[in-house]
Amino acid sequence: MRFDKTEISLALVAIACVLFGFISPGWLIFLLTIALAKALVVQGVVMQMRSGLVSFGQGLFYCIGGYTVGMGGQFFGIHDAIAALALGMAVAIVVAMILGLLLTRYRDIFFAMLSLAFSMILFGILVKSQGLGSTDGFNVHNWTLFGWAPETGADSQQTVFTMTIAAGLLIAILIHRYTKAGIGVICEAVRENEVRVEYLGLSPRWLLYGNYVAAAAVSALGGGLTALATGHVDPEMAYWTTSGEFIFIALLGGLGHVAAPFIAAIVFSVVRTYSIEFVPNTWQMILGFTLLGVIVFLPKGLWSLVSREKSGERT
C-alpha cells in the first residue's frame, strides 16, 4: 500500500497529537476529544455536501452511535469499546440502508427537511422512553479495551483521546482515497448536474445512497466516541440544533480538504467554550455572525485560506 503526501502528513499530525496528549492538561484533552469526535460526524455531513445534499438531521446517526454504545454496555453486556463502536456503526448502517431508500429520492430543501424529520422522530421516541432515562439520558461507563479496563479519570480520558485520533486518522485516509477515486469525483458531478451524470450511464441515486450509508457509519462512530468521552448520552444528540451545529462546522471548514472538518471542529470548540465562559448570553449571536461572515467572505470555508496561499506559491 502506498501513501501519498496528504496521508503521510495526516499520520504525522496524528502521532504528534497523541504525543501532545501525554503532556497537555486534562481539560484540553477532553476538549480536543469532543471536537475530533464531532469532526467525524461533520465528515459525514461533508461527504453528502460534496454531492449536493445538506443533511439537517445528521444528529440522527450521531445519536444512534452514542446510544448504541451506551445501551450495549448497559443492557447487552458489550463492554469492549471497539466492539460497542462497531455495533453502533452497524446499527447506523442498517437504519441508513432503510431510510436511504426513501431519502435518496429527495434533493435540496426536501432532503434537508426529511432528514431533519427523521432525527426528530428518534428524539421524540427517546424523550418518551422511561427505560432510557427520558430527557436526562443515561451514563456510559465501565467500558474496557481488549479486556483492559482503564481507570476513570485521566486514564480513560487519555485512552478515548488516542482512540479518537486513531479513528480520525483511519476515516480521514479512507475519505481522502474515496474523494480522489473516480466514484468520489463523480459525487461532485452529481452536485453540478445530476441529469448529465445519468446520461453518462451512472445512477446518481445509488451513488447518493451509498454515500448516505457511509456517511451514517462515520457519524455513528463520532457519536460513539463522544459517548465514551463524556460518559453520558441524552436525546439532545438527535435534536435538530445539534445537526445545525454540524452543518455550521462543515461550512466553517469547507469542502476543500479532508482535514478541513477537523480544523474547523477544533476552532469551533475553542470559540464556543470561551464564548460560553465569557459571554454566556451572546455566544449564539457570535456563532450567527461568524456563519454569515463565512458564507459571504469565505464561501469555501477556512480551508480556502490555506489553499489560496499554496496556489500563490506555485505561480
Partner 1 sequence: MTSLLAVLIDGSIYASWLFLVAAGLTVIYGVMRILNMAHGSFYAIGAYSAASLIGWYFNNGVGPAWMSYLLLVGAALVAGLIVGVIVERGLLRLMYGRDEILMVIITYALLLILEDTMKIVWGVSPYFAYQPYTELGRTAFGLLKVSNYDLALVGVSALLGVGLWAWLERTNQGKVLRAVIHDREIAVAMGVNVRLMFTITFVLGTTLGALAGALTAPAISVVPGIGIEVIVLAFAVVVIGGLGSIGGAAVGALLVGMSRAAAVHYAPEFELFVIYGVMSLVLAFRPEGLFGRTMARKI
* Interface residues toward partner 1, by CB under 8 A: 54, 56, 102, 105-106, 108-110, 112-114, 116-118, 120-121, 123-125, 127-128, 193-196, 240-241, 244, 247, 251, 281-285, 287-289, 291-292, 295-296
Which residue's CB is nearer to partner 1, number 12 or number 125? 125
- Smallest gap from residue 245 Cβ to partner 1 (A): 10
- Identify the sign of the CA torsion 21, 23, 28, 30: positive
Q: Check: CB of residue 65 under 8 Å from CB of residue 92.
A: yes
- Rounded distance, CA 238 to CA 57, Å? 8
- Smallest gap from residue 292 Cβ to partner 1 (A): 5
Q: Print burial letters for 178-205: b (CB count within 10 Å at least 16), e (below 16).
A: bbeeeebebbebbbeebeebeeeebebe
- Smallest gap from residue 114 Cβ to partner 1 (A): 6
Q: Check: CB of residue 236 under 8 Å from CB of residue 79.
A: no
Q: In the chain, count H helices and then E strands.
A: 13, 2
Which residue's CB is nearer to partner 1, number 168 or number 235? 235
Could you write out the three-class secondary structure of 173-234? Answer: HHHHHHHHCHHHHHHHHHHHCHHHHHHCCCCHHHHHHHHHHHHHHHHHHHHHHHHHHHCEEC
- Smallest gap from residue 22 Cβ to partner 1 (A): 37
Q: Which residues pair with 80 in a beta bridge?
A: 144
Which residue's CB is nearer to partner 1, number 251 or number 266? 251
Which residue's CB is nearer to partner 1, number 40 or number 49? 49
* Ramachandran bin of 77, using left for φ above 0, alpha for ψ from -120 to 50, beta for the remaining angles: left
- Smallest gap from residue 300 Cβ to partner 1 (A): 13
Q: Check: CB of residue 137 under 8 Å from CB of residue 233.
A: yes
Which residue's CB is nearer to partner 1, number 127 or number 189? 127
- Smallest gap from residue 59 Cβ to partner 1 (A): 12
Which residue's CB is nearer to partner 1, number 1 or number 296? 296
- Smallest gap from residue 127 Cβ to partner 1 (A): 6
Which residue's CB is nearer to partner 1, number 126 or number 221? 126
